[in-house]
Structure 1
Amino acid sequence: MRILILGGDGMLGHQLLCSWQERHEVAVTLRRPLQTYSEYGIFTRENSYDAIDARELGRLHEVLRDFQPEVVVNAVGIVKQRDEAHAAIPSIEVNALLPHRLHAACAELGVRLVHLSTDCVFSGDKGGYREGDLEDARDLYGRSKLLGELRQAPAITLRTSIIGLELSRKKSLIEWFLAQHGRIQGYRRAIYSGFTTIEMARIIERILTRHADMYGLWHVASQPISKYDLLLQLAHLLHKDIEIVADDSFVCDRSLDASRFNAHTGYRPPTWDVMLAELAEQVRERKA
């Protein structure tokens, strides 16, 4: 399968490339010139379109015509941890408008589109959210991502959340945790139902190879876990010398109900024991 990944240098995008490149013809778009990624050893002139600003629709059309993918995966997004997440114009351009422009381009070319949304379209006041629940995000990030969701063929929108290793920005939960020492707080009432990027790569590949009929909006979720327990378990697996103190002051449950997705696909999420063991091994390999 010919797959184009937009945002190949992001936390999810580079993992998709690494996971799929031996079984599929995969190309990625990169924000910066190719030579600035040389230290990572995964991007080449053959698998990359470099210096691509996703907001420049003309350049994206050129890439689509040149690579002629069967599938486009939109892994581009301005996430909460970035400074731009507080700026309306880039957030709206990338999170809200870009997906619809991609949808129009892909529909014209007969290309399937996979778009990644987020559990942050919900406030986190109740948890166990289903696809039909009212989206009540109160911040710019959640609202901009909601506006970017696609519900018509040939697009499929996956509402989910991911943790994993990054290449350069290193502002995500796991990268923050790996950089900590001594004593930190762990939110015991912050409930999470996402996946590692390793498992998310498997989920998307499963959809692409087994479920050509799927389009519209789907919740994809794991067994809910608190951020405190997640970090405690990862610290144990990594033998990390750190004290994680339970903090109940922050309350947020954005867990998703993925029963509809699981019933349709037959997918059963792995346990956090399994996913975090894989992530810990990935951390050790990066250090080696």
Structure 2
Amino acid sequence: MLFKRILVTGGSGQVGTAIQALAPPAVSIHAPPSAQLDVRDGRSVAAAFADFRPDAVINAAAYTKVDQAEDEFEAAFAVNAEGARHVAKACAANGCPLLHLSTDYVFDGAKRGPYMESDPTAPINAYGRSKLAGEQAVAEVLDAHLVLRVAWVFSATGANFVKTMLNLAGRDELRVVNDQRGAPTAARSIAAALWRILEGLSSTPRFGLYHFASEPPTTWHDFAAVIFAGLAERKGEGALPKLVPISTADYPTRAARPQNSLLDGARLHRHYGIGPADWRGELRKVLAVLAA
């Protein structure tokens, strides 16, 4: 069947905003604010399903304050785990497939190469534990689910590394971690992948766990360098911060971060024909908005 009525949770977030922007014209999409659809409240979720009667659901609602989650684990768990369970239960009751977004932070980062779906999970922070619990809750409740893990998300909206760097562009010097590897992923690339997955599910359903990869691999320091190079192209040769590479040990944070956040997207490519996204082109589009 073709999915024509799509319910999106977390519609005001980075990915939720992009999902709405890229929605096909023939699709009716409903992405209510959290005041209307609070995934922490099972009754709120059930009411949204009853009102809209979706054919399929994308759960993009998430608590994403990684450091704060160390002190607010219950708050993170309420959204990322219990919220995911509520959405999955409603999908099961209404016969809807669910696309659920997750994260590279379910891994400890000790692997040298990109993580595959079959690799064991071992989150090293509270945020990662809450997201892993959400994955498990969805799998327990609903067979017709697809979990899509993504990493290092950026966009022109919300809080993310690109916007942080632009906000700090007036400084003389920035010390940026250079020993954590990953691949930045544009929210628009994720949204485009989700729409292609929904199209594929309508003809040949292949549920389960998938990784959405981006390329090329980089570090936070080198990502910052590309951001400022792009800013210089747009703004001219004005003063930009000197970037100083540092180790994770030199920049302690409340929550531990994986040293390796690379994801292997081969399974997604095999089943849905979706290859790695090149984050550099999407970064140029984001800078065109933010640095206009």
Output the TM-score relative to the length of structure 2.
0.83
Match of residue 165 from structure 2: 177
Corresponding letter in the other structure for 2:279: W
**Which 10-residue stretch deviates more, 95-104 or 111-120?**
95-104
Taking the aligned partners of 2:98 and 2:67, their CA distance within structure 1 comes to 25
CA contact (8 A) 1:160 1:194 kept: no
Q: Which ranges of structure 2 fall in alignment gaps of 5 or more residues?
A: 250-257
Corresponding letter in the other structure for 1:143: R
Shift of 1:237: 1.3
Match of residue 183 from structure 2: 193
Match of residue 29 from structure 1: 32
Corresponding letter in the other structure for 1:237: G
Q: Which ranges of structure 1 fall in alignment gaps of 5 or more residues?
A: 33-49
CA contact (8 A) 2:179 2:259 kept: yes
1:20 counterpart SS class: coil
Match of residue 257 from structure 1: 264
**Structure 1 residue 164 and structure 2 residue 164: aligned?**
no
Q: Which has the higher contact order (CA 8 A, sep 6+)?
A: 2
Match of residue 225 from structure 2: 232
CA contact (8 A) 1:160 1:221 kept: yes
Shift of 1:31: 2.6
* Alignment match of 1:126 (pick from 111, 116, 121): 111
Taking the aligned partners of 1:145 and 1:206, their CA distance within structure 2 comes to 24
CA contact (8 A) 1:118 1:159 kept: yes
* Alignment match of 2:22 (pick from 8, 19, 23): 19
Taking the aligned partners of 1:67 and 1:230, their CA distance within structure 2 comes to 41
Q: Deviations over 1:160-197 (max 9, x none)?
A: 12222335xx3x22221121022212222211134100
Taking the aligned partners of 1:270 and 1:236, their CA distance within structure 2 comes to 20
**Structure 1 residue 270 and structure 2 residue 277: aligned?**
yes
**Structure 1 residue 143 and structure 2 residue 129: aligned?**
yes
* Alignment match of 2:51 (pick from 66, 89, 109): 66
2:277 counterpart SS class: coil
Residue correspondence of structure 1 range 41-56 to structure 2 within 5 A: 50=36, 52-56=37-41
Corresponding letter in the other structure for 1:18: A
Shift of 1:22: 3.9
Shift of 1:86: 2.8
CA contact (8 A) 2:69 2:126 kept: no
**Alignment size in residue pairs:** 264
**Structure 1 residue 208 and structure 2 residue 198: aligned?**
yes
Shift of 1:137: 1.0
Output the TM-score relative to the length of structure 1.
0.84
**Which 10-residue stretch deviates more, 153-162 or 77-86?**
77-86
Match of residue 254 from structure 2: none
Taking the aligned partners of 2:211 and 2:143, their CA distance within structure 1 comes to 17
Shift of 1:273: 2.6
> Percent same amino acid among aligned pairs?
26
Residues 22, 185 of structure 1: alpha-carbon distance in 2 compared, 3 angstrom cutoff = farther
Residues 82, 20 of structure 1: alpha-carbon distance in 2 compared, 3 angstrom cutoff = farther
Corresponding letter in the other structure for 2:209: L
Taking the aligned partners of 2:71 and 2:127, their CA distance within structure 1 comes to 8
Q: Deviations over 1:195-229 (max 9, x none)?
A: 10011111101101123302111111112222222
Corresponding letter in the other structure for 1:236: A
CA contact (8 A) 2:45 2:90 kept: no
Match of residue 253 from structure 2: none
Taking the aligned partners of 1:64 and 1:73, their CA distance within structure 2 comes to 12
Q: Deviations over 1:224-259 (max 9, x none)?
A: 222222221121112263322222345711211111
* Alignment match of 2:88 (pick from 103, 106, 109): 103
